Structure 1
Amino acid sequence: MMNSMNVRRRRPVSETQAQGRSGSSQASEEDGGRQFIGALARGLEVLSAFRENDRQLGNHELAERTGISKPTVSRITYTLTQLGYLVHSPRFNTYELGGKSFALGHVALASLDVREVAKDLMTDIATRTGLTVSLAVRDKLSMLNLEAQDSDELVGIRLYPGSRVPIVNTAGGRAYLAVASEDDRQEIFEGVKDSYGEEWPSLLRAVDRAALEIKKRGFCMCIGDWRKDVNSAGAVIEMPDGRGIYSLNVGGPAYLVPQEDIEMTVGPMLAEAADEMRRRLGCEV
């Protein structure tokens, strides 16, 4: 006989609840297994229930739209309100999207705009130089690539959206540090310095040189600091209204792109592309 303590019983799901759930949510529950967090998914479903012309919605309406039980919806809306993703109206006992929800939307739109603007410029650089071009943002203690454009050459750096590279010893990371706030810089430095050991003082000097290069020429160079056989250049795009800092990077094997080429040809080309991105995005150039 099976031990009843080891058997988990699933509550029956009503037909109304089943129909209310989106197909994507059901697929995620089936495919995600242990990695799938149901409570988080239900919270996101509640946020997704708000539509373009909605002003305020009550728990009853949200329960109908999501297929989630009203008591559960009530707990979710309370939690989202406490976190700033919803705003509660005591008079009508309804909810509307809060500041944090709008902030997420602005970040997503800004990222989309930047990626779309960057694509043709990245393709042009990759075609002209035969090198790999990437667009990245800081994510904690690394740079996260949002877009990557390889050339038609058979050799080069292979990057892809979602791949990560270090901050302090890459051209793109140093370009980011050139305009980052002092608080952000110190947070990064404190987080990574122990992993570099005796190299750390020289890396800090290289970061400072890169900041001067960005200010003077619009790009910085990284000659064999990330990988001994890789040279690269980085430029930075700082969005208005604090909407993000993006680095534009180009690099490849040192035998294909020696330091002289980075300094005289590839770097200036990258700086021009960064200037064009700023113009298209309405940033100061």
Structure 2
Amino acid sequence: MLLRAFRVGSSSLTNADLAARKRAYRLAAVVVSLADAFHHATAVPDIALPLMRKIAEAEKVNVGLAVPDQTAMVYLAAVRHSRDSVSRTRRVAPGTRIPMELTSIGMAWLAAVPAGVREHLLAQIAEKAGDEWPALHKELSRGIAQAQAQGYCTANYQPGHLTAVGAAFRGPDHQWYGLNISFPHKPSEKPRDVARYAPLLLGLIEKISVSCGVEDGVE
């Protein structure tokens, strides 16, 4: 453990100090305990997963459930049945992180949370983006506005491969969750595909909310 690196007379250590003393960081079994504790803190993933799987298998799409961690979205559950090359080769599992600012699930979550929370995170994203921020801000503003107006937003996180529709809902623990459906990117068929999958996504949120005992998980 990193705490073992501290000795009498060394009340503060930098990352370089810790690296020099411990040589390398290594995951310990306590990480499994923390993950298990987090998993049991909410019933939403267990309730959502069978409903997600049903749509993913029937429609041959990917369905994901995520929560935020700083400026990333972290998957709690993912079911992948899309036939595109990225979905067949890229492993997405609980714990997989994706950028909040580049994904429909992230933009939908940003659209749902209070303005103060959103502005704080946008400032962090802007600092990270640097010179790319103006273009990124334009796309983020579009996605957030779309989610606030229509209840969902769209994004191409894997350009040329996947398009996704994302939405957010409030769970019984009062936490905001992000949910998405992604499918093969076909520019000529995108309007038709979005018209098909967006209602499925919103219907899925309604089913999850009812199963969780939440009358209206979308605001």
**TM-score normalised by length of structure 2:** 0.71
Aligned to 2:178: 247
Find the aligned partners of 1:154 and 1:263 in 2 and give their Cα distance: 17
Structure 2 residue ranges without an equivalent (≥5): 1-23
User: Radius of gyration: which is bigger?
Assistant: 1
Among candidates 104, 108, 112, match of residue 171 of structure 1: 104
Aligned to 1:71: none
Find the aligned partners of 1:127 and 1:256 in 2 and give their Cα distance: 23
Contact 1:143–1:166 (CA<8 Å) still a contact in 2?
yes
- Percent identity at matched positions? 25
Aligned to 1:261: 192
Find the aligned partners of 1:235 and 1:257 in 2 and give their Cα distance: 23
Among candidates 206, 210, 220, match of residue 139 of structure 2: 206
Deviations 1:70-110 (A, max 9, x none): xxxxxxxxxxxxxxxxxxxxxxxxxxxxxxxxxxx7x6545
Find the aligned partners of 1:271 and 1:122 in 2 and give their Cα distance: 12
Runs of 4+ in 1 over 3 A off after TM superposition: 33-38, 107-110, 152-156, 255-258
Contact 1:233–1:270 (CA<8 Å) still a contact in 2?
yes
Alignment of 1:90-129 (within 5 A): 108-111=39-42, 113-129=43-59
Find the aligned partners of 1:150 and 1:143 in 2 and give their Cα distance: 17
Give the letter aligned to residue 114 of structure 1: V
Q: How many residues align?
A: 186
Find the aligned partners of 1:130 and 1:276 in 2 and give their Cα distance: 19
Whose relative contact order is higher, 1 or 2, with alpha carbons under 8 Å and at least 6 apart?
Answer: 2
Say yes or no: does 1:182 pair with 2:115. yes
Provide the secondary structure at the position in 1 that maps to 2:100.
coil
RMSD: 3.1
Structure 1 residue ranges without an equivalent (≥5): 1-32, 45-104
The structural deviation recorded for 1:279 is 1.4
Distance change (3 Å), C-alpha of 1:209 and 1:154: closer
